[in-house]
Amino acid sequence: MATTEERPLFSFGIIADVQYGDLDDAMNFTQTKKRYYRNALYLLREAVQHWKEENRIQFVLQLGDIIDGFNTRRKNSENALQAVLKEFQGVPFGLHHIWGNHEFYNFSRSYLMKSPLFTGPESQDIASNLKEVVKKEADAVYYDFSPYNGYRFVILDNYDISMCGIGRDKDSPQYKKAGEILRQMNKNEELNSPDGLFGVDRRFVLFNGGMGEEQLQWLRETLEVARQRGEKVVISGHVPVHPNSCYVMCLLWNYQDVLNILQDFSDVVLAYFSGHDHGGGYHFDSGNEIHHVTLPGVIEVPPGSNAFGTVDVFSDRLVMHGVGQLESRVMK
């Protein structure tokens, strides 16, 4: 008897922390894991090739840190960016690029807004209208889109309030606010150091960031509209928001504000996807049935393996097919 295989409603690709650079392999800051800067480009190429061959994804969520901050030391940021973007040239699927701390080590927000790494819905208009770019310079980049009837994806800007690199102008209210938060919580001269901080307070380091009031309000409103429309929502940002889904030093500064919103909209939100913690992680919040997936970072995957995936969306579950270090799982 012939069996009918259930087909997903739609599918998408996920990958995080490629952190490409034309640099020799080196250990991370804590000397615990090796970073394979050049190999990361080959792993990205392999991921793109895999998605092309699978021939079913509608878009990729590139979860941030696509090139490494060390590119700035060699004044090689633009070349590195061109190299990774070349891998996506002519792909038969959409791209959603999320901005992480390493984007801001390399580029200002105004540069990013004009680059292909800006994939917001108005990206076409903005690229062709410089006035708009100037107006939007101080804005955070968060947006939502619906790839399939009944489903909505939300892209967050986790470095809205941040002092990372050259992302925010030093005179901007967001940079000043970040300074107030960090200096109140972290008494070290080197603000990337978590010394003297314990538990979840270790998140108050320079390489993390936070989300402003306006963005939080927008998130609430977006989820409210999704609820009224009967949509299911998947949220993504570079930085994890659940302490059990990552190493706590990698958490969003105001992760609790986001968790409170997710709690209030647990009938709508299915999952939160992030990167940032290269070790990866996963937590199912049984209180509100939301899945928190932190992808392993490609940069720390040795040659011979990889870390990316394809997520098939069915009406009652997300099925994540992981490749290499990304574990496969069924998320009901």
Ligand X SMILES: Nc1ccn([C@@H]2O[C@H](COP(=O)(O)OP(=O)(O)OC[C@H](O)CO)[C@@H](O)[C@H]2O)c(=O)n1
* Interface positions with ligand X (CB under 6 A): 28-30, 65, 69, 101, 192-193, 207, 250, 276-278
The full DSSP string for 142-192 is -EEEEEETTEEEEE--TTSB--STTSS-TTSHHHHHHHHHHHHH---SSTT
Which residue, 191 or 290, has its beta carbon nearer to ligand X? 191
Q: How far is the CB of 36 from ligand X (least distance, A)?
A: 13
Which residue, 32 or 79, has its beta carbon nearer to ligand X? 32
Which residue, 29 or 183, has its beta carbon nearer to ligand X? 29
φ, ψ at 53 (rounded to 5°): -70, -40
Q: How far is the CB of 311 from ligand X (least distance, A)?
A: 23
Q: C-alpha distances in angstroms, 165 versus 207, 236, 238?
A: 9, 22, 16
Q: How far is the CB of 188 from ligand X (least distance, A)?
A: 9
Residue nearest to ligand X (CB): 192
Q: How far is the CB of 85 from ligand X (least distance, A)?
A: 20
| C-alpha–C-alpha distance, residues 47 and 86, integer Å | 13
Which residue, 206 or 313, has its beta carbon nearer to ligand X? 206
Which residue, 69 or 210, has its beta carbon nearer to ligand X? 69
Looking at the chain, the number of H-run helices and the number of E-run strands are 9, 14
Are 189 and 180 within 8 A, CB to CB?
no
Q: How far is the CB of 76 from ligand X (least distance, A)?
A: 16
Report the largest interatomic distance among the alpha carbons of the chain, rounded to a whole angstrom: 71
Q: Is 313 helix (H, G, I), strand (E, B) or coil?
A: strand
